[in-house]
Amino acid sequence: LGLAQSCHTIDSLQAFANLLRSDMEQKGLTIRQLADMTALTQLSISKFKSGSDIKLSNLMKVAHALGRRLIIE
């Protein structure tokens, strides 16, 4: 599983959480703003940031909102 922008290989939920936090910081996004951009709840975004499980459809929404392309190999 990779998220392309500059390609990152994501091999765990914690790795995704780390990248999510980094991207949000870089873009100056709050949990509320990302939730609004993805039509997900603030609670869901908060859980993803802490490394909780994420459905593929939600991962795609988050990746798109952060300007990333999801590549599954």
pTM of the model: 0.79
Check pLDDT > 90 for residue 65.
yes
Which DSSP symbol is given to 18?
A: H
Cα separation of 8 and 30, whole Å? 22
DSSP string, 19-64: HHHHHHHHHT--HHHHHHHHT--HHHHHHHHTT----HHHHHHHHH
Q: pLDDT band at residue 28, thresholds of 50, 70 and 90?
A: very high
